[in-house]
Structure 1
Amino acid sequence: MGAIQLKAVEKWFGDVQVIKGVDLEIHDGEFVIFVGPSGCGKSTLLRMIGGLEETSRGEILIDGRDVTPEPPAKRGLTMVFQSYALYPHMSVRENMGFSLKTAGAPKAEIEEKVNRAAAVLKLEDYLERRPKDLSGGQRQRVAIGRSIVRDPTAFLFDEPLSNLDASLRVEMRYEIAKLHQNLASTMIYVTHDQVEAMTLADKIVVLEFGTIAQVGTPRELYERPANLFVAQFIGSPKMNVMPCATQAGEVSLAGGRGMAYSGARAATHLGIRPEHIEVGPAGDGAIDGTIDVVEYLGADCFIILDCGALGQVTVRVSGETQLAPGERVGLGFPAERVHFFDADGLAIR
């Protein structure tokens, strides 16, 4: 079992509060990812769960047991860090089995668990090599294997792919996704990379200045952000957000044309994803803009437009587009794709 619950947990460093009363429930077998900007408290929260940081207030429960005062060794968790921290003088086999050896496990048990972990991680051919003879991705797999042999209640990952280049990150994302499918263990993963979050997570926890901005599946966060912060943090390119005014069943944009509005309260901001904007002749749609830059990415193009008082707007279109800088175009906002936010930044459903 690997159910983890946080009850009003807080973390203070002197007079500075970095975790501000977080409540969270993680179910057994879930892959949960903490994301947020630098300084939001995601690594601190992970370290509190692992027992590497003391919890100032609140409770941390693992399978219903309060582990808040317990040291890391008694929590049954294992942590994979950004740094591999492998012993350079030991082979892969010795590195993976070292924690079991120091715990006094029988040699036969160590060999069985190391071989099983190596099979899961496709490391059978590297067991007798030293870390210096491995690639970055292979070293990270060894670090993960060192955790697997301990048969933990849950895995904690603290930005494990940050030291890898782009191609290895893609490869290791696949390896970690397959690992979760094979082990069906609870995994909590910290990253600043939203691509990792969107592709790996069952559930994403978006943190903002020590509080939870929203919890949900990747699809829920992308399609139904609860507030402006989540709307602009999740998604690449980020959601276009522009000031608006609502009155008498209509929303108006500076220099634009009126649109119908049926929200329950007044909206101050309109948001729309780049791929949901329709491009047409100037004078059509909600607003007009002048193309500043066309970023060609192969299958897609990002069109960045100057929309006057509304600022820059980014549109995602097919890579086959013939649009060019300097053109004046109209931008349509399909009603079912538009998001509205109030003066407090909260989504209006």
Structure 2
Amino acid sequence: MNKKFVLAALTAMLCMPATTYGEELSEMKDRYEEINSQKLEVQKRLEQNSAIADRMEKELKAIEEDFESTSRELREYEEKLVKLNQDIASSKSELKNAEDKLNQKQELLGSRLSSMYKNRSASYIEVVFDSKDMVDLFDRLNMVKNIVSHDKDIIEDVKAQKDDIIEKREQLEKREQESKMAARKLEQRKLEASNLAKSKEAVVSSLKRNEAEYRAQIETLDSESERTMQEIRLETEKKNAKPSEDAGKSQAGGQVSSSSGGSGNQYTGAAPEIDYSNTEKGEAMVVKATAYDPSPEQNGGYGGITAMGTALRPGVIAVDPKVIPLGTKVYIEHMDGTPYGYCIAEDTGGAIKGNRIDILFMNNADAIKFGVRDMKLYILK
């Protein structure tokens, strides 16, 4: 009984490091996935921020162009107003001269009429009846006629000049008011454009500050991601340096061994062991690719089984079914065009969301070595 108890205790003690290692490695990988998820979210915000900033800068450019156009129009109106004021000053001088001449004529006419009324002997009737003879009578009648006609012309001329002066003055005053009103409107437009430009500039400045903050966050997350990946590599190297632990895990039956003697599918892109070359490729999709292996630590303890219930094998990838349905056949290549090979989407993962895939490697070291990278994925028709 005591021997069995001691044996059980020793067995538990031997298993604890492996369990602890598995938990630590799983936590590291979860942290790595979370960091990259945060990075993707910040990158998304950065892209949205940049799009808004670009639009605002275009709007700001249009406002500045309108401001310049309004300023030019305002300068033209100011020049016209200066010229108009000069014309008004000149016209006022001409009007003053015309009014002076008109006043002189009015005084002359008034003086004549006053003289005629004051001096009865000078009345037109007396002038006519004082004629000495018929010839003198006709001469006097003709003289009276000329005087009356001349006075009538003076009166009509005075009236016409008055009307002309009044009309010119009204026209000049109207032009002056219109020019001042147009100038006020342009000043208002210029002020509105200036205020709007200041508002847009404040928004653009805020967006640029946001961009700097997002880039700083991405840089920090990149550093954390690289540090976490380095920790994962170190932990994996420690594990691989313990042959007794590796042997114990291989006897547990939960790991699918690599058919290539431990090297697995090399991260440089050796083609997986499936071929769909007789199918047609669709449009390219850029995806963020990571890697995993069949070990329980990375496969959720499913014992080498995919989400579709098939065995884990070279060429299997984990996907987001909302983006790439399970069972979809794909072709993958590196961003430089180097082929990786044909694969099939048969697995899923908690961190595999959106344009993200997880490529199965039969060897943990190769999965670690693969790291994270962008790749082109073609859905086969």
Q: Give TM class, smaller chain.
A: under 0.3
Task: Find the structure with the greater CA-based Rg.
Answer: 2
Structure in which a larger fraction of residues adopt strand? 1
Q: TM-score, normalised by structure 1?
A: 0.20
